[in-house]
Each structure stands twice: as structure tokens, then as C-alpha cells.
Amino acid sequence: MPDDVVALLAGFVIATVTTPVGVSGAVFLLPVQLSVLHVPNPRLTPTNLLYNVVAGPGGVLRFLGRGRIDRALAAQMTTGSVPGVVVGAVLRVHVAADPDVFRLVAAAVLVPVGVLVLRPPRPAGAGDERRLAPSQVRLLAFGVGIAGGLYGVGGGSLLGPLLVGCGMAVATVAPAALLATWTTSVAGVAAYAVLALDAPGSVSPDVSIGVCAGLGGLVGGYLGATLQPHLPERALRVLLGVLALSLAGLYVVQATR
């Protein structure tokens, strides 16, 4: 089966399953690139970010149309995560280009994602919402942006649960995180495009795979959001959390054998 078709189907299936539990499909697309499509390092990271750029606008536009995005919070996330993703891209190209080193980086991202997905969501209305100071949001976003630039995600799958865990409401965080993830992914793709001008190896994204996976994710995300009320969220959380932790364990074994 051609790689573009595999990418399209993978993006669709992954987004359909991950959207109902609020996880970016990019988290699980990267293992498909690494272990199935065999996209070379470090090209698979900007390709993953390109997936976010193509797949993300559907959800962002829906939230914008409904007026549900806290623009101030989204701006705080973005101003922290955009510099972080640039730093992460530089580290990816010049420090973590080796496949085994990158497998350890991937494991370091997949473990907290797995733990956060397995953790039960904070019940709606459970206590008063606590807003973090803008400087605290930017600091968290910067750290998450570095991880996103290294792994190839906008960071919303990590930053959203962190902010909710700090006391902010899911309804406030999720739309803002989605917008920040898309903006950060655009910045990440641009950063890798600039790095590709001077860095050795395959640094620029695989446009064909990234766009095909993104189109699949665009449709799958819409379907997943539509089916959300009818899907067993807890079962999906267990499935994705265990999968993330299992992949992390596999990559650690592969990198250290």
C-alpha cells in the first residue's frame, strides 16, 4: 500500500479515536511514521507538525465560531510555546538527530501523555476554577513547547491537562489549547524549514505524508467529535494510555539494546 494512503488512513483512524478524549492525534501519528512508514530522522518530527497544521483548523474554526476560545489564555499559551518549539526544533536537529536518542525523547513524551490520559478527568464544576498567573502559563507553555518541538506535537496534549490539573476548567482550557497547538505547529514547521537551509540530513517535512495524514485527521477529528457522546470515553482513555506507555517501553528497549 502506498505510503500516502497509509498516512491518510492512519490520520483518519487516530484522530477518530483520540479526539473524543481530547488528545492530539499527532502523539500517536509519530510512532506510525517511525515504525510503519520509516520516515527518516529528523524529518518525521516536522512532518508530524505539518499534520497538526492541516488537521487542526476544523476544531479551531468550530470553537471560534461559537465564541468559546479564551483569547487572552490562548495568547499566553502561544507566546510561551512558540519560542519553546523553536528551541525544541534546534535541539532536535543538532542534539537528538540520532534515531536511538530520539526514541528516548519519544519515550519521555509518551510516558506523561499516557499517565495524563489514564488519569480521570476533573469533574465539571468540581470546585472553583483557579486561574494561573499569565507568567505561570507562559512558563509551562515554554517547557511544553520545547517537548513539542522535539517530538512533533503542538503541546496541547500536555499543556491542557497540566493547566486543568492546576485548577483551571476544561471548558476554558481545551479551546485555547487547540488554538495554541495549531499556532505553535505552524511556527514549528517554519522553524524546521529554516533549519533545513543549513542543516545536514533530512530536516524538512515530508509534505506528501504530512498533508495526507492531516487530511485524514481533519475528517477523523470531525467524526470523532460527532461520535463523542456515543463512545465509551473511559475505555478509550485506557486504550490510549496503555498504548502510549507500551510504545514508550518499546522505544526505551530499542534505544538501549
In DSSP terms, which residues pair with 117 in a beta bridge? none
Total structural domains in the chain? 1
Mean pLDDT over residues 243-248, rounded?
92
Residue 184 domain boundaries? 3-256
Quick check: 225 pLDDT over 80?
no
Banded pLDDT at 200 (limits 50, 70, 90) = confident
pLDDT at 89: 95
Hey, how many other C-beta atoms are within 10 angstroms of the C-beta on 246? Answer: 12
Top-confidence residue, 53 or 127: 53
Q: State the residue for C-alpha cell 490520559.
A: 117
pLDDT at 129: 65
CA 87 to chain centre: 16
pLDDT at 107: 92
HSE-up of 231 (CA within 13 Å, CB side)? 18
d(CA 189, CA 51): 10
Nearest CA to 90 out of 158, 15, 187 is that of 187
d(CA 252, CA 247): 9
DSSP 134-181: HHHHHHHHHHHHHHHHHHT--SHHHHHHHHHHTT--HHHHHHHHHHHH
Mean pLDDT over residues 22-50, rounded?
89
3-state secondary structure of 202: strand
pTM: predicted TM-score of the whole model, two decimal places: 0.88
